[in-house]
């Protein structure tokens, strides 16, 4: 799979002075308060922070599910901060893949149908089955294509949702606590899959997590607190997950 | 999203909750089925009446006296005493009224009839011998009123089949005596049954007497001139094409006889059979529309059922909406999806309802309910209308839930448990 790169020179994410304020009663909550960040193509960034730090707000903004109160957001060089709802929907279907903590698969649809969903909304219904199947293959679940989510294990469901995130060949995959609902063995398996996609396919990946272990799998860690970035460091040598020497424990 | 995917998705969503979908469907089915069957019954009644009137012959004209005015009160047509038996006879005029065929004047009367054991109120007509032919009656037994009866003011009666049965049971009433308003008459004939015509009351309940007898003995009418005043003159035009000419000729002859000036209004009215049918049909149309509207209310209730279920469905599927939005669905896509589900429900209900309505209509066709035979007439226009209306109901009642679904904030929707 080739990553789509409309403008090779521009970074995937370019955010400046990004702020998101909520009005609650007569109080203004500054969930995000002036964030500057640039993510280049092929990076794997972990976003860390305690709950309430604003990392979910940042993910929603980067995922074009929400628009900022102020600031700019260029995605592949295209300004999307003040785009209309329809344009944002188009951007989501073209450029972004989501992986959620709770998988968010349609319960009545099979794995294959779930993976096909973004293609329908992207106007690519033709040949969608083949594309979806190849995405499932990539996460090693082609043989489970006809199963419904209820018939799949948690790890398998998350892999289906990764396949769904990939099927549109997005320039950015956003994973929000992707292993939050999984046991540690499955966590390693999922992280390995994400790392593999980043390494071999060069897919830009943002992972929100509060587990240092998970963050350790990334190449860069951005820490957020009270709506601001407090630390942004590159990891020269990202830890290889899984650590094969340790015995697997299933809790 | 392409239409096939939208429809498949809608089927899938409805199929996930079959019981609920079928119950919602049922609301529309009942609504549409009742509209279809009600209108079929109404139109059946209309057709029956029309055909019964047409049996009388479409070349028939009626001449009735104008309305009488007493002070400020204008009484109904036929209440004035401006038409006489001589007027009727004058219409038999080969020169001025060549298109007039048979003429049958009548005088209406009512009274209490007493046979041996039974007595009953009767509506009667004083007629001449032509009446039977003009109004398509047949004599079942005995004889018709003869011209001699009219001249001699004979005290004879011809009975309608039902009144004969009521008064004499299975006995043949010919030759039997019958007292009306205290005076004794002899029954000389019985008419063949014509069945019911709801519009005029039953023709079989009529009692016929010679027109002179009816006027002087039975009706209690007295005219200033001493002549016989009539309540209606049935006129047969020579053929159907001549009906308008006949109408004009009658007008001319009577205006001359009544010595009316060019500016005077006629003191009588001439109506054709076609006009009578038209009037009746327009009354019946109102009746059919009324029936249809009452049935339409249940269709409305069905529509509200759809709205209700769609609202529940939107709430239940909030998370699904969030997922779809996250992977790139536009608001319009969500709107289309929920709207297509609502329309699919109502349209499906409409189709099943049409089948059910036609089934009901053909089931009751020819059955008798409370002594009345039901006739049903199915029309393609009602079916098309029902389909259109049910689709419109789906759109109308589906739009609010669908808009609600499309307005959901994707972040909130994804978080919804």
CB contact (8 A) between residue B328 and residue A90: yes
Position B364 scores a pLDDT of: 85
Counting as low any pLDDT under 50, the low residues of chain A are 1-7, 243-251
Average pLDDT over residues B387-410: 92
Average pLDDT over residues B324-336: 93
Q: What is the pLDDT of residues A237-248, one digit of tens each?
A: 655 555 444 444
Q: Is A93 on the interface with B (CB under 8 A)?
A: yes
Please state, for a pLDDT cut of 70, what percent of chain B lies above it: 91
CB contact (8 A) between residue B5 and residue A120: yes
Nearest to B331 among A63, A66, A85 (CB): A85
Three-state DSSP class for residue A42: coil
Report whether pLDDT(B298) > 50.
yes
Chain A residues close to B333, C-beta within 8 Å: 89, 121
Chain A residues close to B13, C-beta within 8 Å: 108
Highest mean pLDDT out of A3-17, B179-193, B361-375:
B179-193
Report whether pLDDT(B349) > 90.
yes
Q: What is the pLDDT of residues B100-131, one digit of tens each?
A: 888 999 988 888 888 877 888 888 899 999 99
Q: What is the pLDDT of residues B35-70, one digit of tens each?
A: 888 888 888 888 877 777 777 777 888 888 876 555
For the entire predicted model, the pTM comes to 0.72
ipTM value, please give it: 0.89
Position B365 scores a pLDDT of: 83
Go through B123-133 and write b for each residue having 16 or more CB atoms within 10 A of its CB, e for each that does not.
Answer: ebbbbbbbbbb
Q: What is the pLDDT of residues B247-262, one digit of tens each?
A: 889 888 888 888 887 7
Go through B231-250 and write b for each residue having 16 or more CB atoms within 10 A of its CB, e for each that does not.
Answer: bbbbbbbeeeebbeebbebb
Instruction: Band the pLDDT of B317: cuts 50, 70, 90.
Output: very high
Report whether pLDDT(B234) > 60.
yes
A238 and A217 in contact (C-beta within 8 Å)?
yes
More confident position, B94 or A177: A177
Average pLDDT over residues B294-320: 91
CB contact (8 A) between residue B1 and residue A121: yes
Chain A nearest-CA distance from B412, in A, is 10
Q: Is A89 on the interface with B (CB under 8 A)?
A: yes
Instruction: Band the pLDDT of B294: cuts 50, 70, 90.
Output: confident
Position A250 scores a pLDDT of: 46
Nearest to A120 among B1, B325, B331 (CB): B1
Q: Which two tokens stand for residue B375?
A: 């006739």
Position A2 scores a pLDDT of: 46
Position B88 scores a pLDDT of: 87
Which residues, numbered 48 to 67 in chain A, qualify as contacts with chain B under a Cβ-Cβ cut-off of 8 Å? 60, 63, 65-66
Alpha carbons within 13 angstroms on the beta-carbon side of residue B270 total 24
Nearest to A118 among B327, B331, B411 (CB): B327
* A·B CB contacts under 8 A: 66
Instruction: Band the pLDDT of B71: cuts 50, 70, 90.
Output: low
CA-nearest residue to A90 within chain B is: B328
Report the distance separating Cα B397 and Cα B346, nearest Å: 10
Instruction: Band the pLDDT of B221: cuts 50, 70, 90.
Output: low
Chain A residues close to B325, C-beta within 8 Å: 65, 89, 92
CA-nearest residue to B321 within chain A is: A106
Q: Which residues of B make CB contacts under 8 Å with A?
A: 1-2, 5, 12-13, 16, 319-320, 322-333, 410-411, 414
Alpha carbons within 13 angstroms on the beta-carbon side of residue B214 total 26
Go through B401-410 and write b for each residue having 16 or more CB atoms within 10 A of its CB, e for each that does not.
Answer: bbebbbebeb
Q: Which residue has the tokens 């046991």?
A: A183
């Amino acid at each position: 799979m080739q990553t789509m790169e409309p403008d090779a020179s521009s970074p995937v994410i370019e955010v400046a002075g990004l702020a998101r304020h909520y009005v609650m009663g007569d109080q203004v909550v500054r969930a995000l308060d002036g964030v500057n960040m640039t993510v280049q193509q092929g990076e794997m960034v972990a976003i860390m922070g305690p709950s309430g730090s604003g990392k979910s707000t940042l993910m929603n903004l980067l995922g074009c599910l929400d628009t900022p109160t102020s600031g700019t957001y260029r995605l592949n060089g295209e300004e999307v901060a003040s785009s209309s709802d329809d344009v944002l929907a188009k951007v989501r279907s073209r450029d972004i893949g989501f992986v959620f903590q709770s998988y968010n698969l349609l319960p009545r649809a099979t794995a294959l149908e779930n993976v096909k969903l973004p293609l329908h909304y992207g106007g690519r219904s033709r040949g969608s089955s083949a594309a979806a199947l190849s995405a499932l293959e990539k996460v090693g679940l082609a043989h489970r294509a006809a199963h419904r989510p209820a018939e799949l294990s948690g790890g398998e469901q998350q892999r289906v949702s990764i396949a769904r995130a990939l099927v549109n060949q997005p320039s950015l995959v956003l994973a929000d606590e992707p292993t939050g609902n999984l046991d540690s063995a499955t966590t390693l398996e999922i992280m390995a899959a994400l790392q593999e996609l980043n390494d071999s396919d060069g897919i830009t990946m943002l992972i929100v997590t509060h587990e240092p272990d998970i963050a350790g799998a990334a190449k860069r860690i951005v820490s957020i607190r009270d709506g601001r970035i407090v630390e942004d460091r590159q990891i020269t040598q990202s830890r290889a997950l899984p650590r094969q020497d340790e015995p697997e424990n299933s809790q | 999203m392409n239409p096939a995917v939208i429809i498949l998705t809608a089927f899938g969503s409805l199929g996930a909750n079959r019981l609920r979908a079928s119950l919602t469907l049922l609301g529309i089915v009942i609504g549409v089925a009742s509209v279809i069957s009600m209108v079929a019954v109404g139109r059946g009644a209309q057709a029956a009446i029309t055909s019964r009137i047409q049996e009388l012959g479409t070349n028939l004209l009626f001449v009735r006296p104008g309305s009488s005015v007493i002070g400020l009160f204008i009484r109904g047509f036929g209440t004035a005493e401006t038409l006489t038996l001589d007027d009727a006879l004058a219409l038999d005029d080969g020169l001025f009224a060549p298109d007039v065929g048979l003429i049958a004047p009548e005088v209406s009367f009512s009274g209490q009839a007493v046979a041996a054991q039974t007595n009953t109120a009767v509506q009667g007509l004083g007629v001449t011998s032509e009446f039977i032919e003009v109004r398509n009656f047949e004599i079942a037994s005995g004889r018709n009123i003869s011209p001699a009866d009219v001249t001699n003011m004979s005290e004879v009666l011809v009975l309608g089949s039902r009144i004969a049965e009521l008064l004499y049971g299975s006995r043949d009433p010919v030759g039997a005596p019958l007292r009306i308003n205290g005076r004794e008459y002899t029954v000389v004939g019985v008419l063949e049954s014509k069945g019911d015509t709801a519009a005029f009351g039953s023709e079989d309940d009529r009692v016929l007497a010679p027109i002179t007898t009816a006027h002087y003995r039975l009706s209690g009418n007295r005219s200033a001139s001493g002549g016989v005043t009539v309540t209606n003159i049935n006129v047969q035009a020579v053929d159907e094409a001549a009906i308008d000419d006949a109408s004009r000729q009658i007008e001319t002859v009577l205006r001359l006889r009544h010595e009316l000036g060019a500016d005077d209004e006629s003191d009588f009215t001439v109506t054709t059979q076609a006009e009578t049918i038209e009037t009746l049909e327009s009354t019946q149309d109102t009746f059919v529309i009324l029936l249809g509207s009452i049935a339409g209310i249940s269709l409305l209730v069905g529509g509200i059922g759809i709205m209700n279920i769609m609202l529940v469905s939107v709430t239940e599927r909030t998370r699904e909406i969030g997922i779809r939005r996250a992977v790139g669905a536009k608001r319009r896509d969500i709107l289309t999806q929920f709207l297509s589900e609502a329309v699919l429900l109502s349209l499906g209900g409409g189709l099943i309802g049409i089948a059910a309505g036609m089934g009901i209509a053909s089931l009751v066709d020819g059955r008798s309910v409370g002594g009345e035979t039901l006739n049903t007439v199915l029309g393609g226009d009602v079916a098309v209308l029902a389909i259109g209306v049910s689709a419109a109901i789906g759109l109308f009642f589906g739009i609010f839930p669908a808009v609600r679904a499309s307005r959901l904030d994707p972040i909130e929707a994804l978080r919804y448990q």
